[in-house]
Amino acid sequence: MIERERAFRPISIFIIYLFIFGMLADCKKEKAAEDKRDEGQIFGVKIYEYQGNLPTLFEEWKGMGINTAFVSEILASRDEFRSLAKAMNIAVFVIFPVFYDPESLEKDPDLYAVTDQGERAKEEWVAFVCPSRSDYRRQKIELAKHWVKRLDPDGLSIDFIRHFVFWEKVYPDQTLESLVNTCFDEHCMRKFQQDMEIVIPDSMDTVPKIAHWIRKNCLLEWTQWKCGLITSMVEEIAGEVRKIKPRILINVHAVPWRQKDFSGAVKIVAGQDFAKIAPVVDFLSPMTYAHMVKREPPWIHSVVKDISHQADCRILPSIQVREAYLKDRLTVEEFRASLTEALKPPSQGVVFWSWEALSSEPEKKDVIAELIHLR
C-alpha cells in the first residue's frame, strides 16, 4: 500500500503541476485578450437570445479570447448577464436597431418608408420606417437614453441606421438601377424640397415619376439629403447618450459596400456616408458577411481598407459564422480564411455573427481560439 502511494506521488505532483500551469496559461491568455480590448482590439460576438447557463457561457468566451459581447436589449436586461460580464471583464455593447422596427410598423403602417415604385419598403423580414419622421426619431432617441440609463452598457451598437435595403441578398453582378431606392413618401418629399430648395414639377404626379425625375435631375442633392438623415440620427443618438454616460463607446453597423460598389449605392441607396458618420462614433462595423453576398474571403479586408480610407475612426468588421440565405456550406476552411482577412490591419478586431450560429460549430470555435490567441 505504502509502496503504491510512493509510486503515485511523483505522478500526482506532475498532474497538479500541469493543472496549475494550464490555469496560469489560461489566465495569461484571458488577460492578454482584455489588454487587447483596452488597446482598441475587440474580439466580439453578437448574441440575441440565450437559454443556457450564463456562467458557463462566459467561461467559454473567456477561454476563446472573446472580450466583448454585442447583445440584444432583451439579453442585456438580465441582471445576471450584466453582473457576470462585469465580473469577467467582458464589455457589453447593447445592439440598438433604429429604422428596422416591425412593432412600430404593425401599430402604425403609415410609418413605412416608400420605395421608388410607390410601395411599402418591405422585403421578407426587412421592413423599414421612413427616416424623416421627427416624432419617431425623438421616440427612438428617448429609447436609446432609457437603455443606457437602465443598463449602463460599455457601448451602444447602433443597427439598421440606414435607408431600406436588403443588402444581404445583393450579389456582385447587380447594378445600381436594380436596387430599390427610398424614401418617397409625402413627408420625405416635402422635407427634401424644403431643405434642398428644390421644386419637383407638378406634372410629376406619381411616385415612380417623381423618383425618375429626382434621379435624372438632382441625384447628388438627393443622396446628400438622404445621407444627412442618417448622419444626423447617429449624431443625435450619440450626443444624447453621451450626456448620460460620457465614456460610452458608439458603434455603427455599416452596410458592407465599398465606395464604388454598385456605382456608389452605399450613399445613394443606403444613405451611409462613412466620412461624415466617423467623427461622431468610435467604431464603424461593416457587416462583411462574405459567404452570404457571394464574395471571397479577401473581399472582407478590401471593405475594411476602403472604409478606413474614408473614415477617421476604428473599423471593426463583423463576419458570419454559418451559411445564411444561401444553402451551400460555409466550411471551416472558408471561415478560417475569412477570420484571417478580418484581422488584417487596419482592422481593430472582429465581431462574430452570431453566437447562436457558433454554438453548433465547435471546430469554428477552435479556429477562433487559435487565431485570437496567436495575436
Q: What is the contact surface with Zn ion in residues (CB under 5 A)?
A: 130, 132, 183, 185, 187-188
**Per 3-state DSSP, what percentage of the chain is helix, strand, and coil (rounded to 5)?**
55, 15, 35
**Owner of C-alpha cell 431600406:** 164
d(CA 113, CA 99): 9
Min CB(152)–Zn ion separation in Å: 34
Query: What is the C-alpha end-to-end distance of the chain, expressed in Å?
Result: 49
195: burial class by Cβ within 10 Å (0-12, 13-18, 19+)?
Answer: middle
Q: CB-wise, 53 or 194, nearer to Zn ion?
A: 194
Min CB(187)–Zn ion separation in Å: 5
Min CB(110)–Zn ion separation in Å: 11
- Give the chain's count of helices (H) and strands (E): 15, 11
Q: CB-wise, 267 or 291, nearer to Zn ion?
A: 267
Min CB(28)–Zn ion separation in Å: 53
d(CA 193, CA 188): 8
Min CB(189)–Zn ion separation in Å: 8
Q: CB-wise, 58 or 192, nearer to Zn ion?
A: 192
Contact at 8 Å (CB) between 300 and 333?
A: no
Min CB(270)–Zn ion separation in Å: 15
Residue 146 grid coordinates: 432609457
d(CA 315, CA 350): 9
H or E segment and range at residue 95: strand 91-97
Q: CB-wise, 63 or 118, nearer to Zn ion?
A: 118
Q: CB-wise, 130 or 248, nearer to Zn ion?
A: 130
Min CB(192)–Zn ion separation in Å: 9
Strand, coil or helix: what is 289?
coil
Q: CB-wise, 76 or 188, nearer to Zn ion?
A: 188
Q: CB-wise, 153 or 271, nearer to Zn ion?
A: 271
Strand, coil or helix: what is 226?
helix
